[in-house]
Amino acid sequence: MPRPSSDRPDRAAFEALYRSTGSAVLGYALRRAASPDDAHDAVAETYTVAWRRRADTPVDPDEVRPWLFGIARRCLADIDRSAARATRLGAKLADAFVVGTIPDPAVGEDYAPVRAAMAGLPDADRELVSLVAWEGLTPSQAAVALGLSPAATRVRLHRARARLKQALSITVVHPATDLEEADHDR
Amino acid sequence: MTGDSDRELDARLAAAAGFRDEDLPALPDVLLREIQAGTTTGDDAGRTASEPASVLAARQLVADAHEARLHPVRRSGARRLLRRGVPLLATAAVGVVALVVATSGRGPTGPGGTAAPTPTDPAVTTPAAPTGPPADLGPLEAPPGGLALATTGEVSFPYSLDPEPAGLTRVLSMSGGLTLFGYPEPVVWVATYQAADDPGFIYRVSPGDPRILPPGAQEGTGAQTTESQVAVGGVQGDLLSGDYDSPLCGYAPSTPGQSRTPDELCAESFAQLTWQRPDGMWVQVYGEDDWATAEAVVSVGESIVDRPQPVPLQVRLAPAGWSVSSYEDNTSLTLISDTAPSFENRIGASILERWRGSTEPDLRGYSEGEPIEQVVVDGRPGELVSVPDGSSADPDGPRMWILEAELPGGLVLFFQAPGVLTHDQVLQIAAQVTYTP
């Protein structure tokens, strides 16, 4: 059930959230969107949803970014589904940036092998790996974003990384340490 | 402790990130201001940079309703669009409204034997409701410098299915009609039929071939598809079918009065049938899963009849010369001036969804520090506030009204209107909003 309105974080709190997480959410979207336009749309939509659902903002600061990433993930999926979306706020956001300051996710093929290997992972595993590797979340935080249990997340992360190593032909020198890695978030 | 292989993997993953968040610019204040003003986005939200808060907020509410469905007018994965340059217009644009005019003799023969709308003449209303104007309307004459009020006709969706499929929830929408970014957005009527466990189908009717992409769009890659031709209603239709690369999931159909968040509804396959009717209108049926067969989409297509049906949300009173110009997902609609359509003067009415937390009128998030008045709308409690219109930086500039009021069944009406209307006129119009799911 929603909390009473009086419990909602105030504007200042949301503003602080916006300022402290903006670049992270933008980066998250840019790394996953098909184009900067889509990323801008997703960022605008993410904070729109976050504002509407501000009563649900996690109390624990460590859970705020995962919560936002979870919203952004859904927004990106919606944008991908609905195809021809072009939101006004997304366009305004794009216009507000100085030309050249926003990287195009479609550019930069140097890392194509890694991206290709990640593409071979199931969607949830790919998202899990990238949340940890790119967004700097701990496995427990990634669990929040993905709606998984921390224990299940650690197991999935371990397996996904193992698959990535195999796909990238990375020699496993110390197999045993993989298991230790799975525990490093405890 | 990690091993060499982990370090190498971490390094390669980090490189694949492409850039560091620290190198990205901060998000601009303009986005924050608009979001907090309630002038939010959604999948539509307007595409002009100068829309007032009244318009934007109305768009947001429509977008909210759209989001609830999460099955927008989808193209198959094979037709996924990638935008380039100027943002293009969604064909199911929610808040982009069309000027509503009375049906005339112009254009090819359309639904119900009336003049079919064209991109520049998107007629959508039917004649005035047969039951006559509602009682107790209050004064209708214009105050000095203001607008007179008048009753409106019943808003209808021009098509029906015969027979109606059993067990599916029907959602009706209409959008389009304006030229933005140099592209005349076609008027599109969309009906969605889904159930909690059935992604169902969508049919859409438009004056143009929906497969012709608007400027600035290109086809992306996606699902593996097959193409063929099939007969539908005595003409040849183009069938495109296939499986999604991965399941497409969204909210199952919902009602504004339900308290529980809708479950997820996923689809794995699709079939899209497109053809042109003898009257020139284009029809597209898009079925998923059980409806993703040639037989199913042909059956749906051949059951479409030109029989208008009323939409659930109606506004029976409006400024004289204004009409309902768009509606979305059964729960929102927009009024606009027939003679002077603009983004600056619109009225928006939406039914808020209980499962999103809207259980009672509460304007504290919209008041901008302005006093909230407790009002009575058609005998039920509500809140009303006048706030600066977000389109102007001048504190003494245009204002807008925001109202929330209870509706029968515990629902909440969200209503926005330009400041040119008087306090009492806002209450008058809001009192004539009806919702009949």
Host domain of residue B280: 111-144+151-310
Question: Taking a contact as any Cβ pair under 8 Å apart, which residues of chain A between 87 and 126 contact chain B?
Answer: 87-93, 95-98, 101-103, 105, 108, 110-111, 114-115, 118, 123
B81–A contact, CB cutoff 8 A:
yes
Which residues contact residue A27 at a Cβ distance below 8 angstroms, ignoring those fewer than 6 apart?
Answer: A134, A135, B19, B20, B21, B24
* A174 min Cα distance to partner chain B (Å): 6
Residue numbers in B near A88 (CB within 8 A): 41, 44-49, 51, 56, 59
C-alpha B235, offset from chain centre: 31
Residue numbers in B near A103 (CB within 8 A): 18-19
For chain B, the helix, strand and coil percentages under 3-state DSSP, each to the nearest 5? 15, 35, 45
Closest Cβ–Cβ partner in A44, A130, A171 for B31: A44
> What is the per-residue pLDDT for B156?
93
Query: Within this chain, do residues B139 and B272 fall inside the same structural domain, yes or no?
Result: yes
Residue numbers in A near B355 (CB within 8 A): none
A134–B contact, CB cutoff 8 A:
yes
Query: Within this chain, do residues B197 and B279 fall inside the same structural domain, yes or no?
Result: yes
**Joined tokens for residue B24:** 């990205």
Which residues contact residue B45 at a Cβ distance below 8 angstroms, ignoring those fewer than 6 apart?
Answer: A87, A88, A89, B56, B59, B60, B63, B94, B95
Query: Within this chain, do residues B260 and B121 fall inside the same structural domain, yes or no?
Result: yes
> What is the per-residue pLDDT for B95?
26
- Give the end-to-end CA distance of chain A in Å, rounded to a whole number: 31
Position B102 in a domain: no
Position B124 in a domain: yes
Q: What is the mean pLDDT of residues A101-111?
A: 64
User: Which string of b and e fits B76-108 if b means at least 16 CB within 10 Å?
Assistant: bbbbbbbbeebbbbbbbbbbbbbbbbebeeebe
What average pLDDT does chain A have? 74
Identify whether the C-beta of residue B80 lies closer than 8 Å to the C-beta of residue A80. yes
Are A86 and B47 in contact (CB < 8 Å)?
yes
> What is the per-residue pLDDT for B148?
94
Q: What's the one-letter identity of residue B351? A: I
Residue numbers in A near B31 (CB within 8 A): 43-44, 47, 89, 92-93, 96
Query: Within this chain, do residues B228 and B134 fall inside the same structural domain, yes or no?
Result: yes
Are B2 and A102 in contact (CB < 8 Å)?
no
Position B369 in a domain: yes
Query: Which of B40, B84, B190, B266 is best to mutate for the A interface (most A CBs within 10 A)?
Result: B40
B31–A contact, CB cutoff 8 A:
yes
Closest Cβ–Cβ partner in B36, B246, B248 for A11: B36
Query: Within this chain, do residues B304 and B323 fall inside the same structural domain, yes or no?
Result: no
> What is the per-residue pLDDT for B29?
84
Helix (H, G, I), strand (E, B) or coil at A27: helix
Question: Taking a contact as any Cβ pair under 8 Å apart, which residues of chain B between 348 and 377 contact chain A?
Answer: 356-357, 359, 362, 364-365
> What is the per-residue pLDDT for A83?
46
Helix (H, G, I), strand (E, B) or coil at B272: strand
> What is the per-residue pLDDT for B279?
92
Give, in order, the Cα–Cα distances in Å from A29 to each of A54, A77, B40, B315.
Answer: 20, 11, 18, 39
Burial environment of residue B428 by CB neighbours within 10 A (0 to 12, 13 to 18, 19 or more): buried
Please say which residue of B257, B292, B310 terminates a domain: B310
* A171 min Cα distance to partner chain B (Å): 6
Can you list the domains of chain A with their CATH numbers?
A: 8-107 (1.10.1740), 108-186 (1.10.10.10)
Say how far apart CA B275 and CA B235 lie, in whole Å: 8
> What is the per-residue pLDDT for B285?
95
Are A5 and B364 in contact (CB < 8 Å)?
yes
Tens of pLDDT, residue by residue over B256-292, are: 888 887 888 888 898 999 999 999 999 999 999 999 9
Are A86 and B79 in contact (CB < 8 Å)?
no
Question: Taking a contact as any Cβ pair under 8 Å apart, which residues of chain A between 56 and 85 contact chain B?
Answer: 77-85
Instruction: Give the number of C-alpha atoms closer than 13 A to the C-alpha of residue A21, restricted to the C-beta side.
Output: 27
Residue numbers in B near A22 (CB within 8 A): 26-27
Query: Within this chain, do residues B55 and B118 fall inside the same structural domain, yes or no?
Result: no
Query: Within this chain, do residues B324 and B301 fall inside the same structural domain, yes or no?
Result: no
Q: Could you give the ipTM of this predicted complex? A: 0.79
> What is the per-residue pLDDT for B163?
95
Are A84 and B217 in contact (CB < 8 Å)?
yes
A4–B contact, CB cutoff 8 A:
no
Please say which residue of B310, B340, B356 terminates a domain: B310
**Joined tokens for residue A43:** 């960022």
> What is the per-residue pLDDT for B405?
95
Position B14 in a domain: no
Query: Within this chain, do residues B204 and B180 fall inside the same structural domain, yes or no?
Result: yes
Q: What is the mean pLDDT of residues A77-105?
A: 67
Query: Within this chain, do residues B338 and B365 fall inside the same structural domain, yes or no?
Result: yes
Query: Which of A15, A35, A43, A48 is best to mutate for the B interface (most B CBs within 10 A)?
Result: A48
Which phi and psi angles does B2 have, rounded to 5°? Answer: -125, 155
A8-12, A129-133, A173-177, B55-59: range with highest mean pLDDT: A129-133
Query: Within this chain, do residues B216 and B287 fall inside the same structural domain, yes or no?
Result: yes
A19–B contact, CB cutoff 8 A:
yes
Are A26 and B13 in contact (CB < 8 Å)?
no
Tens of pLDDT, residue by residue over A12-67, are: 888 889 999 999 999 999 888 877 888 888 899 899 888 877 877 887 788 889 88
Are B12 and A111 in contact (CB < 8 Å)?
yes
Identify whether the C-beta of residue B414 lies closer than 8 Å to the C-beta of residue B349. yes
Segment among A112-126, A154-168, B53-67, B320-334 with least mean pLDDT: B53-67
Q: Please, where are the H alpha helices in chain A? A: 11-32, 36-52, 64-82, 88-96, 112-119, 123-133, 139-146, 150-167, 175-182
In this structure, the number of other CB atoms found within 10 A of the CB of residue B364 comes to 11
Which among A133, A58, A16, A51 is positioned nearest to B21, based on CA atoms? A133
> What is the per-residue pLDDT for B292?
95
Q: What is the mean pLDDT of residues A143-155?
A: 75
Query: Within this chain, do residues B47 and B185 fall inside the same structural domain, yes or no?
Result: no
Position B137 in a domain: yes
Closest Cβ–Cβ partner in B18, B25, B71 for A101: B25
Are B15 and A93 in contact (CB < 8 Å)?
no
Question: Taking a contact as any Cβ pair under 8 Å apart, which residues of chain B between 389 and 408 contact chain A?
Answer: none
High-pLDDT (> 70) share of chain A, %? 75
Closest Cβ–Cβ partner in A24, A41, A174 for B5: A174
High-pLDDT (> 90) share of chain B, %? 34
Q: B264: nearest CA in chain A? A: A74
| Residue B434 bridge partners (DSSP) | B314
Instruction: Give the number of C-alpha atoms closer than 13 A to the C-alpha of residue B229, restricted to the C-beta side.
Output: 6
Query: Within this chain, do residues B409 and B392 fall inside the same structural domain, yes or no?
Result: yes
What average pLDDT does chain B have? 72
Top pLDDT among B4 and A157 is at A157
Low-confidence ranges of chain B (pLDDT < 70): 1-3, 38-135, 176-185, 213-223, 341-345, 356, 365-366, 368, 389-395
Say how far apart CA B337 and CA B416 lie, in whole Å: 15
> What is the per-residue pLDDT for B116?
30
Q: A27: nearest CA in chain B? A: B21
Are A90 and B41 in contact (CB < 8 Å)?
yes
Q: B24: nearest CA in chain A? A: A23
Please say which residue of B310, B335, B356 terminates a domain: B310
Number of domains in chain B: 2
Which phi and psi angles does B8 have, rounded to 5°? Answer: -65, -40
Q: B18: nearest CA in chain A? A: A108
Residue A8 above 60 pLDDT? no
Identify whether the C-beta of residue B285 lies closer than 8 Å to the C-beta of residue B276. no
